Chain A
């Protein structure tokens, strides 16, 4: 079995034929099965375009993308690709289709022509995984933003996707909604789902296994959160924030305190300072 669930090979993409600027400009990226990857970058860096390319909503102008070995430009594989790499979008209101929560989660498997009894099982399982079972009979418009996003995630789970791609799922949420979504994603990652999280919140990116920084359609940094965020100046140059704890640690180092330069978690710094 292939180790990389997503393979992006030198992909370029532009929206209009006449555009001289590529939204995605020569990206190569492999994502391992079961990995939790965060893709960060400022608005217009190409990160959302990349997500849509993986899900075959857009097709590369140049280069190839493979999802579980399937070429995203292969028409006959379209639905398998979308089933394998499910996608959650930014606006929680504009991706829920049905008037009742459980009906909405059933939407995906219904489209796939799954047996009714099997759909019921999947919907209940998905509701339990995201912790929304008791809300199953509610109309979505009465839920909070965080709850709506959890329903959207459950909708992808019901598709039995191996991989979930989330395009700035927390951008429109309040702090507690953001925590809800992150907790759900970490839980899904633990049960083996591959997660690709597109975000511009650093406190979310530090919770991933791997951070990819995009700027002007290209990958600029790629590594563990520690490797990436210790490049303080580079990150700031790309119009992004650095976790305050990293900033504090680096200032303390300059002042002569003996600390490693790749601190990114509060607990880490506190432990080291208290030794």
Chain B
């Protein structure tokens, strides 16, 4: 049984992705027998290519994706290079998990309110500083270049990449490398870039690719912050999927494949960029320059890092204020009055959605945990470790854009007559929850001293007893953290819930994004806050529970 678990896990994780791509390929070629259409025909691609917004939509996907990824990576590198091991870095590390768990949609709403011409920043500085009695007519949100959307992505991707970098630092013996560089007269940032970064980047390359693929095809953030004339390709695909005209479904499928190709091309381009940067880097290494700009770079790094963290925290605060706001006119810094009316109105609805959210998240995370623990235990017992190829497979569902395979998966599910609803949504969430749970738990699991298992075994404990009585309790903290990561990932899922749930599965995220179209900031405040709490609560429990359970066991304190 345990031996077959890795294969089962692979099927559960990769199966829907491949099925979804297959399900997009046939309709894209004009083949949708259910609708009486038999291919092959290139009409769908022809319609796609004739869409007047195509060029801009493609450009938007590439520029926002690449810019968001490059900027996030830059911030993470500068912050880590300049500050790792310092007290400021520790502070940043502590707010990392909560910021990371803020769902993309909630962060995007909050940011939208923060930076809009009538947003909080403008209100706080008007009219005494800006002289604005009315909001200026400036195109900040929905700007055609997608800068607002890029900013929204960066605030969320920085914490993700930072977390991945922290995990990598432990494996590359940063301190030794850095110390060596510094004794040779290199300043902090330059020393780090020259001696630590190459090794770190090798470790975080896949997460960077994930960020690129995600940023290029994101839907919820693009719907909230992105331009609309035209929107990015992924948003347009979702719109086509929702068109009552059946032929548009074929165009959506063709668009899905185009999105996939686009992401693959961008990944290829990025890879080329890596080679180029590596070559430049090697030349730079040989120059022997010690880093005159380091103090400035350090300041830029911590500035950008703090700005990105502060933006998220302020955005959340903005949501909180709106959720309790009475009438609030521009340019007042705060509402005329605070009221519980919004919570009375929307509270019950959010509780219902929260129940659905936790049901789906709990089931998906529970399944993921069983599969991941099973795989890790199988790995431990067989002594086989995860190969590089295995790691790629693990990342595959995160590298294939959601808009590339979910439309096809929906078409496929419907054409085989599978009922839509909670069950399929849980399985669709599992595709994304599994890799994150695996990645979150894998390192801690492997870092566990195997001599514990040897000792327990020689004391007469069979493998399952070692697993339940020794390994699981000792790894309670990382396991709960992995659960929290899984729940946060599930809570944040918009597109799988929308497309695979057929509208019947209303989670906090789908409700919040639906409300966003109505622009009622009070309702969005309530839903966005609840959505964030739903993701944060498991992290809080993951921190509190082990401390409570092991309060008398100093060896398990962190």
A binds B: no
By a beta-carbon cutoff of 8 Å, the part of chain B in contact with chain A is none
